[in-house]
Structure 1
Amino acid sequence: MKKYHILYIMLLAMTITGLSSCSENSNTVEEYPNWKATNESKFNSIYAEAVKYVASGSDSWKVIKEWSYQDSIHNNPEDYIVAQVITKGSGTISPIYSDSVRVHYEGRLLPSTSYSEGYVFNKSWSTDEYNPSTNVPTKLAVSNVVDGFSTALQNMHIGDRWRVYIPYQLGYGSAGTTGIPGYSTLVFDITLVSYYHVNVTVPDFKAKSTGNTNTWIDK
């Protein structure tokens, strides 16, 4: 009996040692290390550079205060979005908060451990590459997206394509959402295709414009 007792103790010790070894040798990799500090630092850097470009007279960058902030209190970097103009459209009027829009977009995070170009958490096209001639734009309500995205839309013109940097305060905040950790700077590639006021029927995308911004006829 004593012999079996000793054997049991030896096996138990080996099991504990093995578990300890597995724990010590675990190769668990953190996907988003120092995420809050990384995102704050990166956005502040982008903001500072954009401010310099704007001050120099460049029209390739825009620094835009969150759409509902009309006071002098909100003047910190996180109260703004930063937009890099990729393509300048021919439109002259922007959507308003109550409008609906058709856009092409892709949203990604800043680079992380497994994603050197940033994790793509959502996009409107199903192909690997963006192709405006074949990709169908999605319909969105300006009021139904995060504040930073809404701010961008309300300053874009039809045909504009912007790369928009949104601080986490104007995105999903410190809590995050499914697939997006808290404190995430959001980077969107947005092309504004069209927009429609309230009570205007949004036509099928294959519709053809009559010339009036918000009046369309079917092909």
Structure 2
Amino acid sequence: MKRNAFHILVFLLAVAGLSSCKEDDNTVEEYPDWQAKNEAYFNNLYKEAVSEAGTNPKVKVIRKWSLPETRKNPEDFIVVKVLKQGTGTQLPLYTDTALVHYQGRLLPSTTFPKGRIFDQSWTTTEFNPSTNAPRKFAISSVVDGFATALQNMKAGDRWLIYIPYQLGYGPKGNNGIPAYSTLVFDVTLAGSYHPKTTTKENKKKN
């Protein structure tokens, strides 16, 4: 009886192992070679943007707001494509609060050919400032790449912003955003204000 029980146990373990291997073979990896893919993508984007920025005002390469001019590595910068130029005249400060419309995506992955949307302020499929209220947050509370962009935008500007993972969520990721992710934001700055001051937008919210 003991020998029969032993053979049955070995058989069941073997079946379980085969089943497990089969399931693993069918598993789809959402973010294969993610670090290498993101680094290659952003480095190439940065190189093209640096070449184009001198003659095309709709392309910008902006160094992280707190870094000295001696820092010139691709990961020290964000890349911007200007979609619309606003009529504002004031640049927000790092200590300011911003009113922002935005949508954040990752680079294309296995089941998201356009990149997975991980956050957005829009309540409809397409951005419409008349039907979507901007979100309000302190510029100092967002990732370095996003904070850098906001401090260079004027009210009404709409930018497509590419942030390397070093200025985003880094090698650890955050809340479902994989490590080493380049962040792609479609951002419109609706307004901003200094601490202990108000704007028309702020008064409406209060």
Taking structure 1 as the reference length, what is the TM-score of the superposition? 0.87
In structure 2, the residue matched to 1:9 is 6
1:75-154 correspondence to structure 2 within 5 Å? 75-154=72-151
In structure 2, the residue matched to 1:60 is 58
Q: Could you list the per-position Cα deviations for residues 151-210 of structure 1 after superposition, in whole angstroms to 9, with x for gaps in the alignment?
A: 000001111100100001111111111111111111111000011112103555684xxx
Residue of structure 2 aligned with 1:174, choices 165, 171, 175: 171
Aligned equivalents of 1:129 and 1:99: distance in 2?
Answer: 28
Instruction: Compute the displacement of 1:81 (Å).
Output: 0.3
Listed as ranges, the gaps of 5+ residues in structure 2 are none
Q: Give me the identity figure in percent.
A: 51
Q: Is the 8 A contact 1:110 1:186 kept in 2?
A: yes
1:178-193 correspondence to structure 2 within 5 Å? 178-193=175-190
Residue of structure 2 aligned with 1:70, choices 68, 71, 75: 68
* 1:28 partner amino acid: T
Q: Secondary structure at the match of 1:20?
A: helix
Q: Secondary structure at the match of 1:25?
A: helix
Q: Does residue 162 of the first structure (1) align with residue 183 of the second (2)?
A: no
More helix by share: 2
Aligned equivalents of 1:79 and 1:125: distance in 2?
Answer: 29
If you compute each CA radius of gyration, which structure gives the higher value, 1 or 2? 1
Q: Secondary structure at the match of 2:107?
A: coil
In structure 2, the residue matched to 1:215 is none
* 2:50 partner amino acid: V
Aligned equivalents of 1:58 and 1:165: distance in 2?
Answer: 17
Aligned equivalents of 1:122 and 1:35: distance in 2?
Answer: 20
Aligned equivalents of 2:164 and 2:62: distance in 1?
Answer: 12
Number of residue pairs aligned between Structure 1 and Structure 2: 203
Aligned equivalents of 1:110 and 1:206: distance in 2?
Answer: 37
Q: Secondary structure at the match of 1:189?
A: strand
* 2:132 partner amino acid: N
Q: Is the 8 A contact 1:97 1:143 kept in 2?
A: yes
In structure 2, the residue matched to 1:31 is 30
